[in-house]
Amino acid sequence: MTTVQRRRLTRYAWLSIAAALATIALKSGAYFLTDSVGLLSDAVEASVNLVAAVMALAMLTVAARPADSSHAYGHSKAEYFSSGAEGTMILIAAISIAYAAIGRLVSPRPLERVGMGLGVSVAASAVNLTVALVLARAGRRHHSITLEADARHLMTDVWTSAGILIGVGATALTGWNTLDPLVALLVAANIVRTGVGIVRRSVLGLMDTALPEQDIVRVRGVLAAYTGSGIQFHALRTRQAGARRFVSLHVVVPGQWTVHLGHMFLEQIEEGIRRELPGTTVFTHLESLDDPASWEDVTLDRTPAPPPG
């Protein structure tokens, strides 16, 4: 993906910010209408959505910067800070929701103007659902962990709101006021699960975790087409930094090959991998079948050469 294309992703962050502002207003209004701690938890999560969207905008802007002398591999990893921060904020929101719910569980209160409050909350959920679907599609298309995390967060908010609406409605129908904080506690537990998943994925990205198995299989499929006549491949390593994939490998060819022939062969392999996995930077290293040293650098740390004599 080009720098210009990466910059265009920021428009999705602006969409997320607009949706967060709208839902904060709507859900806060629903809480003030009903005095429901369940709807309060919904408004708190909407506030987290706003902070997360602003963070996503900042990190997408950084990730779009071209490579420079200090960041020769680009700035794609900035996206992991955004999704990691978003996951952390989700966990903080869950704690605040649980705190409010426990207080209301100890001292239950009847709900007010439930019908009007639920209507406002439904409108807010419709906004979140629409934006979540747009962000999820864009995240998959552009391989953006920031947009995917934001979409997953918004979808969690949609399901959360659905649960809260059912709980608040049931509270109004049955008069069992403790049901409202119980629903809020269930919401907090679900938010924790989502937040942990987002943080975990960010940590894996920062730790240079290998590409998904299906991507590695596709790389091996490209290499299989060139295997034969003594040609071998080893030291295949992969990682992902935001939207950019990295693949490195050693190509072992007959020793009598010329430099020109070897170079042309590597160009074909690299092009095949890039065609199979767009947005991939490929590093290849040419080695000779006739040189025993070609098998001394299969691991990350090269096998020390034996001392002379």
Does the pLDDT value for residue 303 go beyond 70? no
CB 237 within 8 A of CB 296: no
pLDDT of residue 270: 95
Does the pLDDT value for residue 271 go beyond 60? yes
CB atoms within 10 A of CB 108: 15
Distance CA 306, CA 136 (A): 54
Whole-number percent of the chain with pLDDT over 90? 19
Element (H, E) at 83: helix 78-106
Comparing 275 with 81, the larger pLDDT belongs to 275
pLDDT digits (tens, 9 = 90+) for 158-191: 877 777 777 777 777 777 777 777 877 887 787 7
For residue 181, give the 3-state DSSP assignment.
Answer: helix
Element (H, E) at 96: helix 78-106
Q: Who contacts 59 (Cβ-Cβ below 8 Å, separation ≥6)?
A: 78, 79, 81, 82, 146
Band the pLDDT of 150: cuts 50, 70, 90.
Answer: confident
Q: Is 224 exposed, middle or buried (0-12, 13-18, 19+ CB in 10 A)?
A: exposed
Distance CA 165, CA 159 (A): 10
Does the pLDDT value for residue 223 go beyond 90? yes
Does the pLDDT value for residue 5 go beyond 60? no
Does the pLDDT value for residue 46 go beyond 90? no
Does the pLDDT value for residue 251 go beyond 90? yes
pLDDT of residue 309: 54
Element (H, E) at 271: helix 259-276
Distance CA 169, CA 118 (A): 8
pLDDT of residue 81: 72
Band the pLDDT of 15: cuts 50, 70, 90.
Answer: confident
Work out the average pLDDT over 151-156: 78
Whole-number percent of the chain with pLDDT over 70? 88
Query: What is the chain's mean pLDDT, rounded?
Result: 79
Per-domain residue ranges for the chain?
A: 3-206, 213-295
Nearest to 178 by CA among 115, 129, 106: 106
Tell the CATH superfamily of the 3-206 domain.
Cation efflux protein transmembrane domain (1.20.1510.10)
Which span out of 28-32, 77-81, 287-291 was modeled with the highest average pLDDT?
287-291
pLDDT digits (tens, 9 = 90+) for 61-120: 777 777 777 777 777 777 677 667 777 777 777 787 787 778 777 777 666 676 777 787
Domain covering 213-295, topology: Alpha-Beta Plaits (3.30.70)
CB 23 within 8 A of CB 46: yes
Q: What is the pTM of this model?
A: 0.58
Does the pLDDT value for residue 268 go beyond 70? yes
Does the pLDDT value for residue 247 go beyond 80? yes
Which span out of 9-13, 103-107, 178-182, 258-262 was modeled with the highest average pLDDT?
258-262
